[in-house]
């Protein structure tokens, strides 16, 4: 038996800001039954929720230094399915660890169905966990892992320290700020609208927040927010914000570089922090990937679930509906349209 699979792909490589005309919706036939004589360990999954993440733009480029570093960052071939983290339900499997009807999370695709090869990331979900399935794409997925591991394992924060988070209302930033508050830190976030400023202060409890679009001098803005300097900077932006943060860092300050979204689509915004500050203040700047901490995922997930159950950690989601909405959802990331984790709901549960 075969079904039609609608999926999103790129027409050609994208070397600037993405636009609707860069994408197309294609349809392919997917077999729901793998022939009995086949030894295939493929798992056929009906996609329910898929993650929309800005790092995919680097995979869509004709060339990016990131593409040869890790399997999750490999180049996307025009016309092919785009793999992405997601949640789905198993339709067919010959593997003993998955059966029809199982809820799973792992490396799926921007489409209605996914064929997950043996060895690809795929984990069974507990259907009785008591949270929306979408949480497994965001706060219980790679976004949550990046936030927790990046803050606690990379930044090595201490209670009472002063923490700055850029893109603080995004999928990762809004979690990092809350973790910092739970630890007893002073936390400031930068965002791109007054609505987002209000979100950070009124809903999440940030000590302060500012709209970077209304600031003429980012260094002075951070000096105003941090008169005693910054101890920890969680960077999701790069560019001029990183330069401004380094200028305001304290001695032995730490910077965790999770993403540089301001640089993904504009080659003229490359960060050039003052190297003398880095040397004489002995500042540590370290990049990291969620994949670096997969060995800690179970432990971090357990802690995150408890924080959410206890009401200590809130999450925000921006959910669009249908495969057709994926291109606009992705483009919206680079225009700052989302608050919280951007997700597309592909199908009903």
Distances (CA, A) of 349 to 88, 220, 268, 285, 329: 8, 49, 44, 42, 21
pLDDT digits 0-9 by tens, 202-211? 999 999 999 9
Place of tokens 């910054």: 230
- Asked whether residue 10 falls in the same domain as residue 65, the answer is yes
Distance from C-alpha of 170 to C-alpha of 175, rounded to nearest angstrom: 8
- Is 66 contained in some domain? yes
- Token readout for 11 is 């027409």
Distance from C-alpha of 321 to C-alpha of 116, rounded to nearest angstrom: 23
- Is 310 contained in some domain? no
Q: What is the CATH number of the domain that holds 203?
A: 3.40.50.720
- Asked whether residue 14 falls in the same domain as residue 122, the answer is yes
- Asked whether residue 171 falls in the same domain as residue 194, the answer is yes
Distance from C-alpha of 191 to C-alpha of 323, rounded to nearest angstrom: 28
Distance from C-alpha of 110 to C-alpha of 113, rounded to nearest angstrom: 8
- Is 300 contained in some domain? no
Last residue in a domain, options 275, 291, 307: 291
Task: Name which of 32, 30, 31, 48 is nearest 103 in CA terms.
Answer: 48
pLDDT band at 274 (very low <50, low <70, confident <90, very high): very high
Helix runs in 170-294, H state only = 173-183, 194-198, 218-225, 239-247, 261-264, 275-280
Count of domains for the chain? 2
- Asked whether residue 51 falls in the same domain as residue 130, the answer is yes
Dihedral sign for Cα atoms in the order 296, 300, 183, 188: positive
- Asked whether residue 111 falls in the same domain as residue 9, the answer is yes
What is the dihedral angle through the alpha carbons of 241, 246, 252, 254, rounded to the nearest 10 degrees?
Answer: 20
pLDDT digits 0-9 by tens, 330-349? 999 999 999 999 999 999 97
Give me the mean pLDDT over the 163-184 stretch. Answer: 98
- Asked whether residue 325 falls in the same domain as residue 249, the answer is no
- Asked whether residue 157 falls in the same domain as residue 282, the answer is yes
- Is 203 contained in some domain? yes
Boundaries of domain holding 48:
2-138+315-345
Supply the pTM of this predicted model: 0.95
- Asked whether residue 21 falls in the same domain as residue 80, the answer is yes
Other Cβ atoms less than 10 A from the Cβ of 95: the count is: 14
- Token readout for 282 is 């002995």
* pLDDT, position 38: 56
Dihedral sign for Cα atoms in the order 11, 118, 301, 73: negative
Contact in structure between 279 and 272 (CB atoms under 8 Å): no
- Token readout for 153 is 């394992």
Angle in degrees, CA 291, 293, 294, rounded to 5 = 70
- Asked whether residue 157 falls in the same domain as residue 279, the answer is yes
* pLDDT, position 298: 93
Q: What is the DSSP letter of 74?
A: P
What does the mean pLDDT of the chain come to?
A: 95
What is the dihedral angle through the alpha carbons of 100, 106, 111, 113, rounded to the nearest 10 degrees?
Answer: -10
- Asked whether residue 54 falls in the same domain as residue 77, the answer is yes
Distances (CA, A) of 14 to 57, 79, 177: 7, 13, 32
- Is 160 contained in some domain? yes
| Burial of 25 from C-beta contacts in 10 A (0-12 / 13-18 / 19+) | middle
* pLDDT, position 270: 81
- Asked whether residue 163 falls in the same domain as residue 42, the answer is no
Q: What is the CATH number of the domain that holds 80?
A: 3.90.180.10
pLDDT band at 129 (very low <50, low <70, confident <90, very high): confident
pLDDT band at 301 (very low <50, low <70, confident <90, very high): very high
pLDDT digits 0-9 by tens, 33-74? 655 445 678 999 999 999 999 999 999 999 999 999 998 899
Distance from C-alpha of 89 to C-alpha of 227, rounded to nearest angstrom: 51
Angle in degrees, CA 152, 258, 20, rounded to 5 = 145
- Is 235 contained in some domain? yes
- Is 298 contained in some domain? no
* pLDDT, position 329: 98
pLDDT digits 0-9 by tens, 185-203? 999 999 999 999 999 999 9
- Asked whether residue 169 falls in the same domain as residue 264, the answer is yes
Task: Name which of 8, 12, 84 is nearest 53 in CA terms.
Answer: 84
- Is 302 contained in some domain? no
- Token readout for 47 is 């996609």
Distance from C-alpha of 298 to C-alpha of 159, rounded to nearest angstrom: 25
């Amino acid at each position: 038996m075969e079904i039609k699979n609608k999926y999103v792909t790129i027409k050609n490589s994208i070397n600037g800001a993405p636009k609707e005309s860069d994408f197309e919706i294609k349809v392919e036939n997917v077999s729901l039954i793998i022939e009995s004589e086949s030894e295939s360990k493929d798992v056929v999954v009906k996609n329910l929720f898929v993650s929309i993440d800005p790092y995919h733009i680097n995979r869509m480029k004709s060339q990016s230094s990131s593409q040869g570093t890790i399997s999750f960052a490999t180049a996307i071939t025009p016309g092919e399915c785009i793999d992405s983290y997601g949640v789905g339900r198993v339709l067919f499997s010959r593997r003993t660890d998955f059966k029809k009807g199982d809820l799973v999370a792992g490396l799926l695709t921007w489409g209605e169905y996914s064929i997950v090869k043996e060895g690809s990331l795929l984990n069974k979900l507990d259907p009785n966990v008591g949270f929306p399935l979408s949480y497994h794409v965001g706060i219980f997925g790679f976004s949550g892992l990046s936030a927790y591991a990046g803050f606690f394992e990379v930044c090595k924060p201490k209670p009472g320290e002063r923490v700055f988070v850029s893109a603080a209302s995004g999928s990762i930033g809004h979690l990092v700020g809350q973790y910092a508050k739970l630890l007893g830190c002073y936390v400031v976030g930068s965002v791109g609208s007054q609505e987002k400023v209000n979100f950070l202060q009124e809903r999440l409890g940030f000590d302060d927040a500012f709209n970077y679009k209304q600031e003429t001098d980012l260094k002075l803005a951070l000096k105003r927010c941090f008169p005693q300097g910054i101890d920890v900077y969680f960077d999701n932006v790069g560019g001029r914000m990183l330069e401004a943060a380094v200028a305001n860092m304290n001695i032995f300050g730490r910077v965790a570089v999770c993403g540089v979204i301001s640089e993904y689509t504009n080659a003229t915004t490359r960060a050039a922090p003052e190297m003398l500050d880095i040397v004489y203040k002995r500042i540590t700047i370290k990049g990291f990937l969620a994949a670096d901490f997969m060995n800690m995922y179970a432990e971090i997930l357990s802690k995150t679930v408890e924080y959410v159950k206890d009401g200590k950690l809130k999450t925000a989601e921006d959910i669009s509906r249908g495969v057709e909405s994926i291109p606009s959802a992705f483009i919206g990331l680079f225009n700052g349209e989302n608050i919280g984790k951007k997700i597309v709901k592909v199908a009903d549960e």
